Amino acid sequence: MALTHKQSRRLNGFIFVLPWLIGFFLFFLIPIVNTFIFSFNIVGVADQGGRTLEFIGVKNYVDLFRVELASDNQTQIYRMFYEEFTRIVVNTPLIVIFSLFAAILLNMQFKGRDVVRVIFFLPIVLGLDVVLNLMLMSTGATYMDAQAQSGAFLQADLVERVLLSSGLPTGFVGFLSDSVGRVFELVAKSGVQILTYLAGLQSIDKSLYEVADIEGANRYETFWKITLPMVSPVMMFVTIYTLVDMFLASSLTNEIYTFTILENKIGIGSALSVVYLVFVLLIVGIVSLLFSRVVYKNV
């Protein structure tokens, strides 16, 4: 029995995610279930070995936000969630948009394009830490120095005054200054996204651009009518990847380790893990829902 095109696409998709599903059920499902169980208990060590569980309901969750502090003994946990949410809302659009325009530039035809691509993606191939260490060894600079220098011109009083006197809101000027001050960090986090966008741009049918050129469309119209709609599925993937990548690098993951391993508060650490998991799934779910309404579906 021959499969239809739609059934074949679904089968290929299932085969593609099958290794992940096997790994999830073999190595991750049981720890996740145990984490949920531990979050409702006080976890201790039995005299004969093993662990003991004392059910206390949602007390760990209440204490997490009312009693416990972060590892600096100053910041409350709910404040860390707020700061994490703010960081994601600010950085994710910057990385996604910067990666798209960088990929468009690298996809253009110009002399030495292959050399530029090799230089641009060398940190991704070698690893950012390796390249950063080489930079520090060769220049004697520090990472903080690099960040400070990258935003120095917008941190100058003169430039900020010019921007403010032009009528721009104070909040926007502060946002612009902060974004440029973190340009090294943003570029460092955009490598995989640029590669993904580049693959998506190269998969667009060239005949679409040829028809647009015949009809007299300019580059601005071509971008909004062809490039952006065709690359929107890739943009959805890039956005979710960026979100997950930022969540993995969150300071909250360090707090989970501190509570669970260093302070032996397994119940509190498990409760924080569960809340953080729900927090991640909620944001990723909302972003996926929003993109599903506007993404171009080539079915």
Give mean pLDDT, residues 15-24.
Answer: 92
User: Distances in Å between the alpha carbon of 113 and those of 7, 109, 116, 125, 129?
Assistant: 40, 7, 5, 18, 25
Distance CA 109, CA 89 (A): 34
Question: Are the C-beta atoms of 76 and 271 separated by less than 8 Å?
Answer: no
Q: Per-residue pLDDT tens for 142-158?
A: 544 544 444 444 444 55
Residue 238 inside a domain? The answer is yes
Q: Confirm whether 280 is domain-assigned.
A: yes
221-245: average pLDDT: 90
Among 72-81, 98-107, 215-224, 277-286, name the most confident range: 277-286
Q: In the numeric block, which tokens belong to residue 151?
A: 């935003």
Residue 31 makes CB contacts below 8 A (sequence gap 6+) with none
pLDDT band at 89 (very low <50, low <70, confident <90, very high): confident
Encoded tokens for 196: 């993904």
Token pair 């993937």 in the structure block, residue: 237
In this prediction, residue 275 has a pLDDT band, given cuts at 50, 70 and 90, of: very high
Q: Could you tell me if residue 25 is inside a domain? A: no
pLDDT band at 33 (very low <50, low <70, confident <90, very high): very high
**52 within some domain:** no
CATH number, domain with residue 175: 1.10.3720.10
Residue 43: other Cβ atoms inside 10 A:
21
Q: 268: domain range?
A: 58-294
Q: Is residue 137 part of a domain?
A: yes
Question: Residue 2 corresponds to which tokens in the numbers above?
Answer: 């021959």
DSSP state of 261: I
Confidence grade of residue 78 (pLDDT, cut at 50, 70, 90): confident
Q: Is residue 7 part of a domain?
A: no
Query: Per-residue pLDDT for 3 more than 60?
Result: yes
Counting the structural domains of the chain, the total is 1
**120 located within any domain:** yes
Q: Are 295 and 232 in contact (CB under 8 A)?
A: yes
Asked if residue 47 is part of any domain, the answer here is: no
Q: Which of these, 251, 243, 249, 256, lies nearest to 286 by C-alpha position? A: 243
Q: Which H, E and C letters describe the chain, residue by residue?
A: CCCCHHHHHHHHHHHHHHHHHHHHHHHHHHHHHHHHHHCCEEEEECCCCCEEEEECCCHHHHHHHHCCECCCCCCEHHHHHHHHHHHHHHHHHHHHHHHHHHHHHHHCCCCCHHHHHHHHHHHHHHCHHHHHHHHHHHHCCCHHHHHHHHCHHHHCHHHHHHHHHCCCCHHHHHHHHHHHHCHHHHHHCCHHHHHHHHHHHHCCCHHHHHHHHHCCCCHHHHHHHHHHHHHHHHHHHHHHHHHHHHHHCCHHHHHHHHHHHHCCCHHHHHHHHHHHHHHHHHHHHHHHHHHHHHCCCCC
